[in-house]
A and B are shown apart, each in its own frame.
Chain A
Amino acid sequence: MNNQRSPFFNVDWIVILVFLALCIIGWFNIHAAVYNPEKPSIFNLDTNYGKQLIFIVSALIIGLVILLMDSKFFNTFSPVFYGITLLLLILVLIVGRNVGGNQAWIPIGSFRLQPSEFAKFATCLLLARYLSMNNVKVQDLKTKSICAAIILLPMGLIMLQPDTGSALTFFALIFVLYREGLSGYFLIIGALFIALFVLVLLISKLYLILALVVIGALLIYNYKRNRSFIRVVIVGFLISVAYIFTVDFAYNNILQSHQRNRIDVLLGKVQDLRGEGYNVNQSKIAIGSGGLLGKGYLKGTQTRYDFVPEQSTDFIFCTIGEEWGFVGSFVVIGLYLFLLLRIINIAERQRSSFSRIYGYGVASILFFHFFINIGMTVGLAPVIGIPLPFISYGGSSLWSFTILLFILLKLDSNRMGII
């Protein structure tokens, strides 16, 4: 191979185009969401829309720098990144600034660094490095345990801030493990546990356990010849019952009241339009009032007149829905889906398993943000306060998603270089 090739050789320009499209959509919608008639210019640096332009430009520089770096650098230094991130996560608990109840920010000059954002790609890198080592098989218990440790360590530290939303993001990495051989049952069991979680909160424990007994009895009756299956059913039943009580206990004693309220509102258990339900209700009103074609750029009344909270960050999708209607929403969701599918394809074309595993990590993290963020604006997911990648206002999140994506692009551009 010729090492004198341009650093942009083999770079996936399509992904970069989608990335740029999303950044620009974000920039214009931040302009609309926090539009200030006294500072109408989208380039005005006193405003959030002006600042976002700086973030976008600096993100592009970061991306360029990554493309110019040696692709082996990321594999080699992944433990270092991971270690630094963990240190920062501990540091933020000590010196961090408390914003909105979360100790998530380290102030550096006029900027605020959010280590939990950088923990995402550091964790992905280390996970990829570990899983790509020879003789490491996900099926082994030891591997599972180490993977769990890699994921749970930063997650636990973020939990302590406490920034539940960002912490939950790490669960998305289960897709990576699944792709690398984790039994499909884990996905199914995971889905079942989520379903059971919702059911515990919706119906009485007694009925739920009775229902499980009935289901278990039917399964055992159907497969009475299969001893080992009966054993699985009984163990599963016992775990389920234990889980039910755990969830119930955690919900009532561990969760903070605002978290409990958010879940209640999402499940429709309480109709609280002035309190916890206000955000989601106003968000749905904003999106719903957009209609098919939307109200037009800078004409969204709900977002511009502050009915929707966090309109430039977590609830930026409201502006898209209100001003660009279903057509705009369709375009944005379409771009994300295209990006996600393309990343999977990129991951699969890698010769190195490190690159492939990292690619899946990128897709998983982006997918989780995309689904939960848009889901919460339309009342399909709990409000856990995570940004919409590339679109939401904010330097830390834009940079960390850019780093996450461009490392993959760098690895991909060098896919032929790996024997």
Chain B
Amino acid sequence: MNRFFARKFVIQGIFIAIAIILLARIFYIQVISDQYFLSANNNVLRKILIYPARGIILDRNEQILVQNEPVYDLMVIPREVQPFDTLLFCSLIGIDKAGFDKRFKKSTNYSPYKASIFEKQLSAQTYAKFQEHLFEYPGFFVQNRTVRRYPDSTAAQFLGYIGEVSEKVIESSNGFYSQGDYIGISGVEKSYEELLRGKRGVQNLMVDALNRPKGHFADGKYDTLAVSGEQMISSLDKELQKFGEKLMKNKIGSIVAIEPSTGEILSFVSSPGYDPNMMVGRQRGNNYMKLLNEPSKPMFIRPTQAEYPPGSIFKVVNALVAQQFGLINPNTTYYCPGGYRYSSRGVMKCTHVHGSVNLERSIKESCNTYYGYTYNLMIDKAGMRPVNAYKRWRGAVSKFGIGDKLGIDLPAERKGMLPTADYYTKIFKSDKWGSSFNISLSIGQGELGITPLQMANVMAIVANRGYYYKPHLIQAIGAKKVIKAEYTKKNDVGIDPKYFGSVINGMSQVVNEPSGTAIYSKINGIEMCGKTGTVQNPHGDDHSVFVAFAPRDNPKIAIAVVVENAGFGSTWSAPIASLMVEKYIRKSITRPKEYLDRLFEANLLPGALLKPKAPVKQKPDTSKKDTVTPKKIKAVSTNSIAVNE
């Protein structure tokens, strides 16, 4: 003990104070703040996504339409890269030194410690060459992934394509998608995205300070396996589709074929098309821009997006509706003097002087006068105010799937145009208008707009004698071949089956009677029923339309063919349709080679297409003109029947 003994307490006090300060600090960073905990996870945890194989798509005979093919992404971790011979490296993967520097800088900017894509989608050949040298380039490795491959290069617009997700989709996906993921952008790829994409797997890896994997976090407790996307069996018949595409080569237009008993779409040709393989791989961006700038608009999905006034094929609908209303019957006869006088001011001309015409003959010979009278009956003489009668007529027509989307399983279907009564009242400035105001509707012209899909569906209705199933592209989903419930529901159009007899008789005569407008397209041994049509085109040559179904009894196929700028329905559309029908039902063609060659070799592309600014997309004629002028009548009455007689 000495006089400074008390200083012991000062020193011990300092020791205690320091210990408390250290403990307080440690308590703060360990227990109170969670910042360090998060940083630690950030340091050590790496979420590795395992991409599932996208579902493949088959045709109705289970032939492959789309499959997956492996490609190799070259990855780099900049920090682990050691000096090497860049020239050899560049030549192996086909880039130049500047390109190398650019890519390397981009990766380094992203992160020197983390892997990023150095070069996307090396082909199997490039990869094979490169693989032998890979060990010379520490820091580089290859990650494989699959891309879509279309072995037959067919049905591009039907299948659609996939591409990298956009920022917008990433934001709204609640974290499902992230930068660099692929998503269906059009076609079946888009409408069935959620089933096709499968489920991604996750591996939670732990890495050390040099980013080397050190095993699975919590022994893989939080890891999940990737689940492949569902396989799709489409309704498409691949052989029929390829045949249709071949027939439509160098022509603009569509073919839609439906199996009436199911609503399954057998063929979905949009011409011009493109090779779906163009939308895959490293050239995808360039190809996409090329297709987008093509004046013939191959990206435009004509079967569901092009709207045309249906022309004479619409007479079938009017004949059925008028019978259902009890206004005409198969024996109703009108005298055709070569036109229908709808008012003191105007005449809707017919192509010929038909004389006395009954229902059957009106279809076979496509008599405008007959439908002028019939329309007049439905609107002006229905025992109610014409505006209400029009509403009733419109309701009956819309049941055929006209004027609204059919709800096909493809994105961006258009609904077409079936004007409302209010539309005419607005133009007439009162509701006191009558049939003379929109008489062109009687023969399928004027403001009407119908897509090729809707045309084919009308044929499916006639083939079924009064009902249809929703047209669709995917027949069955997954290994269990699930069929969506909505596709097994019968849609009745409200026309009694007994009223179809004379109409179908007329349609059969169109193809099979020597005086029919489509006799050139008769198929020996298969009774096809059809109707020709010519669509007026204010921009150039008229469009050729033909709709049909076959065989007459127990029909297997309903079809609509539109060839733009090709003139009469009987010349181009009807032969194409007849070949498609024969190909599908008989699996072989009995027609002479010249018959086929004429169609294969025909180039019906309009000269205007060579000039980029020419309009290609066909819009329905929705001119606001309120009356059908004589001049217009002349135009709309140009019907294929006239020429063939």
Contact = CB atoms under 8 A, between A and B. Distances in A.
A325 interface: yes
Given A306-B208, A307-B209, A289 B36 contact: yes
A173 interface: no
Interface stretch (A82-90, A122-130, A195-203, A333-341): A333-341
Interface stretch (B13-21, B293-301, B610-618, B636-644): B13-21
Nearest to B44: A301
Interface residues of B, number: 37
Nearest to B40: A289
A291 interface: yes
Contacts of A330: 23
B11 A287 contact: no
Contacts of A179: 4, 7-8, 11
Given A287-B30, A288-B40, A292-B31, A340 B15 contact: yes
Contact of A291 (B30, B39, B208): B30
B39 to A, nearest CB: 5
A285 B7 CA distance: 38
A70 to B, nearest CB: 26
Given A326-B30, A329-B23, A285 B11 contact: no
A306 B210 CA distance: 8
B7 A371 contact: no
Contact of A301 (B21, B25, B40, B210): B40
A26 B2 CA distance: 38
B11 A175 contact: yes
Contact of B26 (A302, A329, A340): A329
Interface stretch (A16-24, A152-160, A373-381): A373-381
Given A287-B26, A333-B19, A333-B22, A178 B36 contact: no
Contacts of A344: 8, 11-12, 15
A378 B15 contact: no
A268 to B, nearest CB: 14
A371 B31 CA distance: 21
A321 B208 contact: no
A293 to B, nearest CB: 10
Given A284-B29, A287-B30, A307 B22 contact: no
Interface string B197-215: 0000000001111100010
Interface string A304-320: 11110000000000000
Most chain B CB within 10 A, of A291, A304, A307, A367, is at A307
Interface in A362-387: 363, 367, 371, 374-375, 378-380
A178 B11 contact: yes
Contacts of B29: 284, 287-288, 378
A152 to B, nearest CB: 22
A417 interface: no
B44 A302 contact: yes
Contacts of A296: none
A284 B25 CA distance: 10
A175 B18 CA distance: 14
A117 interface: no
B44 A305 contact: yes
A206 B21 CA distance: 32
Nearest to A360: B11
Interface string A278-297: 00001011111111100000
Contacts of A292: 30-31
A353 B5 CA distance: 12
A272 interface: no
A348 B8 contact: yes
A363 B19 CA distance: 14
A314 B213 CA distance: 26
Contacts of A367: 15, 18
B288 interface: no
B331 interface: no
Contacts of B82: none
Contacts of B14: 175
A288 B11 contact: no
Contacts of B23: 329-330, 333
Most chain A CB within 10 A, of B7, B18, B22, B39, is at B22
Given A181-B4, A305-B207, A374-B22, A284 B15 contact: no
Nearest to B33: A288
A321 B22 contact: no
A180 interface: yes
B5 A348 contact: yes
Given A305-B209, A326-B26, A329-B23, A289 B15 contact: no
A285 B33 CA distance: 11
B173 interface: no
B43 interface: yes
B595 interface: no
A341 B44 contact: no
Nearest to A282: B43
Given A321-B26, A326-B26, A344-B8, A291 B37 contact: yes
A375 B22 CA distance: 7
B125 interface: no
B22 A378 contact: yes
B554 interface: no
B542 to A, nearest CB: 73
Given A301-B43, A329-B23, 11 more contacts: A179-B7, A285-B36, A286-B40, A288-B35, A288-B40, A307-B209, A325-B30, A326-B30, A329-B26, A340-B15, A371-B18
Interface of A: 175, 178-181, 184, 282, 284-292, 301-302, 304-307, 321, 325-326, 329-330, 333-334, 336-337, 340-341, 344, 348, 353, 360, 363, 367, 371, 374-375, 378-380
28 contacts: A178-B11, A179-B11, A285-B36, A286-B40, A287-B36, A288-B33, A288-B39, A290-B30, A291-B31, A292-B30, A301-B44, A301-B206, A302-B40, A304-B208, A305-B44, A305-B207, A305-B214, A307-B44, A326-B31, A329-B23, A336-B19, A337-B19, A344-B8, A344-B11, A348-B5, A363-B15, A367-B18, A378-B25
Interface of B: 2, 4-5, 7-8, 10-12, 14-16, 18-19, 21-23, 25-27, 29-31, 33, 35-37, 39-41, 43-44, 206-210, 214
| Smallest CB-CB A-B distances: 3 pairs | A288-B36, A289-B40, A305-B208
